[in-house]
Amino acid sequence: MLASIIASGLAAGAIYALVGVTYNTMFSTSRVMSFTAGQLAMLGGVFGSLFTLKMGLPAIVGFALTLVCCAVIGIITEFVAVRPVLKNLDQHLYVLSTLALALMIQQVAAIKWGTEPQPFPRLVGFGSGVFDERFWLPVVACAVTIVGLEVLYRRTLVGRAFLAIAEDNFAARALGLPERNLRIASYALAGIVGGIAGFSGGQLLLAFFANGALLNFYGFVPVALGGLGNNRGAIAGGLALGLFQQAANFLVGGIFSSVAVFTLFIVVLLAAPQGLFGAATARRV
Amino acid sequence: MAVSRRELLVGGAGALGAASLSFPMPALAQTEPIRIGCLAAMTGPSSAPTIGFNRGVDFSVKAINAAGGVKGRKIEIVMRDTQGDPTKAVNATQEMISQVKVHGIWGPFNSGEALATTPIMARAKMPDIHPCVVESLIDPTKYPNAFRMAPSNSQWDDAVRNYCLKVLKVKKVAVIGDTTGYGVTAVGASVAAFKKDGADVVYQANIDATQPDMTPDMLRAKNAGAEVIVVWSVTTGMEARMFNTRAAMNWDVPFAGHPSLASGELAGLVEKPENWKKVYAIGYKSCSYDASGKLPPKSEELVDRLTKAGVGLNDTLLWWIAGGIDAIELFAKAVEASGGTESAGIIAYLNGLNKYPGYFGNYTFTPTQHNGYPTEEIVMSEASTAKNGTFALAPGYS
């Protein structure tokens, strides 16, 4: 039982963590919590199944095409749901615009892809039982993604520009950084991260249009637990959420596991409103 | 003789009235087509049954009209795409009643739409035949015009319970559903009925259909000693995960339950084909083949006719096609027997049906019982044996 809790808990947690990173990536350059994050992950599974299973393309080609498609959806999000409301961030119109786009993505997926879950192919063919690839693949994908993002942010000029925009938008612009282009790039990057989450978790979650709403929800929890904009916090929060959720599934079961998860979530936020890994924001007075 | 203006007016009106009485009424009512409205979710997520039903409707209408119609009157289908949306179904119903003036309605095909349209049809006394399963849709007092020609939820429940207790002869039962309104209601009703029949419900649960790992619930059911797992869900993803988990646990417990356990999509979702064995889904005698691969004679004859007419069978279910044929034929017989398209006559005819031999089943209606499908014709099928829209009978039937 313990092995099963750890295997499926870490796998689900890694997917939640990647969705949390998707939220953070979009947030860092725009200060917008885009509720399309879960839909991007859902599309990762749907596009992955479409390219590799239905169209029969090699897994690596299907993976690349999936990431391209998700990046495009990320860019569309920036143009359609984020840019028009950036001038009025204090009115939180982005909640409405990104939720509306998320709903549109979900409905189009339901109509074009179908409302029943579709199979996702085995990619590597290695492992069985608790070491089945559907459990370890999301964890590996999560680890590779976070390392890649660390390299991008710490070792490359573009990554540092992302950080500069995230740190102080006005100062970065004053230094001549192309803020708009960097924001578009960050949304494409978020699409790629979401696509990785969906593709790597496809065997676990299947290619199912309703996964978007679920991942929107469970992906938001690590962001809140780990602190907004904090990727390391999102990873820790996501993995903890997955493990706790799976343990609750075993111990209390079904509907009550969701109750247990959100009870803990509320308790943590009451104790640490800025998140477990977030620092209290300094306010200019 | 002087004639006053008042006398002239009265006389003129009287003459006009007498003259109009002497003109024969046009016999339009006896020659116009029999218009049957069809509320069909032709597009959208719940369109699969409609595709099958419509093939039956088209086949039946062509056959009746080719044979000269009903007492010389052709059947005309007025089809409206509801997209599975109750709002669109309501609009289409109102249009059919007040503008198109149909003589009867076939559908809608899902309970969500029917819950919205049934009261409207009842107010208009519009004869309605539908295949929706929700119990409250049939109430001869409130809805004397509504007739169900497919099983209700409780009939499905009876069939599954009887199979588990009388054929599989198990005593310890696990009942699992999803967290939708349907899943919760169906699990509650099923558990209560099993307990009433003396079975020991050792485990019951409602699982979020998107839960990625079913091991926790399957393990609890196994530890509780379940000898069969009864499933009430329409979510194939959840069902496939349960089958795969059962295989991973090396557990050979049978599954029995909702017709979706036999959904073709499961073939792609199970990790190995054998994971889908020992799964028994609700089916129907008329659409189940025996050990020799034969359907009942009447169904064999129907399949032959459908094949000759080029009606596709391999991507739908035979009972949907048969149900569509039966619905149209019931309306046609009602018009023929009652001598017209008056709703009272059609309803009176349907109320008097006793084991009417349709292709899908033998229907019986009375003024106080509008659930027409006989429970004894509901059987369990081997879920993974689909062949031209039919299934093999589950083990235990002679």
Q: Does B44 touch chain A (CB under 8 A)?
A: yes
Taking 70 as the threshold, does the pLDDT of residue A74 lie above it? yes
CB contact under 8 A, B208 and A255: yes
Question: What is the rounded average pLDDT for all residues in chain B?
Answer: 90
Contacts of A252 (CB under 8 A, 6+ apart): A260
Taking 60 as the threshold, does the pLDDT of residue B28 lie above it? no
User: How far is the alpha carbon of A219 from chain B, nearest alpha carbon, in Å?
Assistant: 14
Radius of gyration in angstroms for the set of CA atoms belonging to chain A, rounded to a whole number? 18
CB contact under 8 A, B236 and A117: yes
Q: Select from B207, B212, B235 the Cβ nearest to the Cβ of A254.
A: B207
Instruction: State the best of A116, A139, A204 to mutate against chain B, taking most chain B CBs within 10 Å.
Output: A116
Q: What is the pLDDT of residue B210?
A: 80
Report residue B24: phi and psi, to 5°.
-70, 140
Average pLDDT over residues B9-20: 53
Domain B154-290+380-392: CATH class, spelled out: alpha beta
Complex ipTM: 0.79
pLDDT, tens only, A232-271: 889 999 999 999 998 988 888 767 778 888 888 888 888 8
Residues of chain B with CATH 3.40.50.2300: 31-152+300-375, 154-290+380-392
Residues of B in contact with A250 (CB under 8 A): 215-216, 219
Alpha-carbon gap, residue B258 to B233, rounded angstroms: 6
Long-range contacts of B247-250 (CB under 8 A, 24+ apart): B247/B271, B247/B272, B247/B274, B247/B275, B248/A129, B248/B215, B249/B215, B249/B218, B249/B219, B249/B222
Alpha-carbon gap, residue B159 to A10, rounded angstroms: 41
User: How far is the alpha carbon of A98 from chain B, nearest alpha carbon, in Å?
Assistant: 23
Size of interface A-B (CB pairs under 8 A): 67
Angle, CA A260 vertex, CA A254 and CA A262 arms, to 5°: 115
User: How far is the alpha carbon of A229 from chain B, nearest alpha carbon, in Å?
Assistant: 27
Taking 70 as the threshold, does the pLDDT of residue B24 lie above it? no
Per CATH, the number for A2-271 is 1.10.3470
Alpha-carbon gap, residue B81 to B50, rounded angstroms: 10
Residues of A in contact with B263 (CB under 8 A): 116
Q: What is the pLDDT of residue A53?
A: 92
Cβ–Cβ < 8 Å for B327, B57: yes
Q: Select from B179, B220, B269 the Cβ nearest to the Cβ of A119.
A: B269
Average pLDDT over residues B316-323: 93
Alpha-carbon distances, residue B328 vs A152, A253, B144, B358, B377 (angstroms): 67, 47, 19, 11, 21
Instruction: State the best of A108, A206, A215, A216 to mutate against chain B, taking most chain B CBs within 10 Å.
Output: A206
Q: Mean pLDDT lowest for which of A28-42, A88-102, B47-61, B143-157?
A: A88-102
Alpha-carbon gap, residue B175 to B231, rounded angstroms: 6
- Percentage of chain B with pLDDT > 90? 74
Q: Select from A116, A210, A253 the Cβ nearest to the Cβ of B265.
A: A116
pLDDT, tens only, B99-122: 999 999 999 998 889 999 999 999
- Percentage of chain B with pLDDT > 70? 91
Q: What is the pLDDT of residue A125?
A: 81
Q: pTM value?
A: 0.80
Could you tell me which residue, A280 or A197, shows the higher pLDDT?
A197
Q: Is A16 exposed, middle or buried (0-12, 13-18, 19+ CB in 10 A)?
A: buried
Cβ–Cβ < 8 Å for B78, B100: yes
Question: What is the rounded average pLDDT for all residues in chain A?
Answer: 89
Looking at B156-254, which runs of residues are DSSP E strands?
172-178, 200-207, 228-232
Q: What is the pLDDT of residue B152?
A: 94
Q: What is the pLDDT of residue B9?
A: 60
Radius of gyration in angstroms for the set of CA atoms belonging to chain B, rounded to a whole number? 25
pLDDT, tens only, B236-260: 889 999 999 999 999 999 999 999 8
Could you tell me whether strands B288-289 and B356-357 are parallel, antiparallel, or unpaired per DSSP bridges?
unpaired
Q: What is the pLDDT of residue B23?
A: 45
Q: What is the pLDDT of residue B12?
A: 57
Average pLDDT over residues A209-231: 88
Query: DSSP of chain A, one letter per residue?
Result: -HHHHHHHHHHHHHHHHHHHHHHHHHHHHH----TTHHHHHHHHHHHHHIIIIIS---HHHHHHHHHHHHHHHHHHHIIIIIGGGGGGGGGTHHHHHHHHHHHHHHHHHHHHH-SS-B----SS----GGG-HHHHHHHHHHHHHHHHHHHHHHHSHHHHHHHHHHH-HHHHHHTT--HHHHHHHHHHHHHHHHHHHHHHTHHHH-B-TTHHHHHHHHHHHHHHHH-TT-HHHHHHHHHHHHHHHHHHHHHT-HHHHHHHHHHHHHHHHHH-TT-SSPPPPP---
Q: Does A111 touch chain B (CB under 8 A)?
A: yes
Q: Does A255 touch chain B (CB under 8 A)?
A: yes
pLDDT, tens only, A193-203: 999 999 999 99
pLDDT, tens only, A87-141: 877 778 888 999 999 999 999 998 888 888 889 999 888 877 788 899 999 999 9
Q: What is the pLDDT of residue B45?
A: 62
pLDDT, tens only, B186-195: 899 999 999 9
Per CATH, the number for B31-152+300-375 is 3.40.50.2300
Residue in A closest to B176 by C-alpha: A254
Average pLDDT over residues B154-169: 95
Q: Does B179 touch chain A (CB under 8 A)?
A: yes
CB contact under 8 A, B206 and A254: yes
Residues of B in contact with A254 (CB under 8 A): 179, 205-208, 211, 217
Cβ–Cβ < 8 Å for A242, A173: no
Q: What is the pLDDT of residue B83?
A: 86
Average pLDDT over residues A52-71: 96
Q: What is the pLDDT of residue A235?
A: 93
Query: DSSP of B316-367, one letter per residue?
Result: S-HHHHHHHHHHHHHHHHHHHHHTS--HHHHHHHHHT-SSEE-SS-EE--BT
Taking 60 as the threshold, does the pLDDT of residue B25 lie above it? no
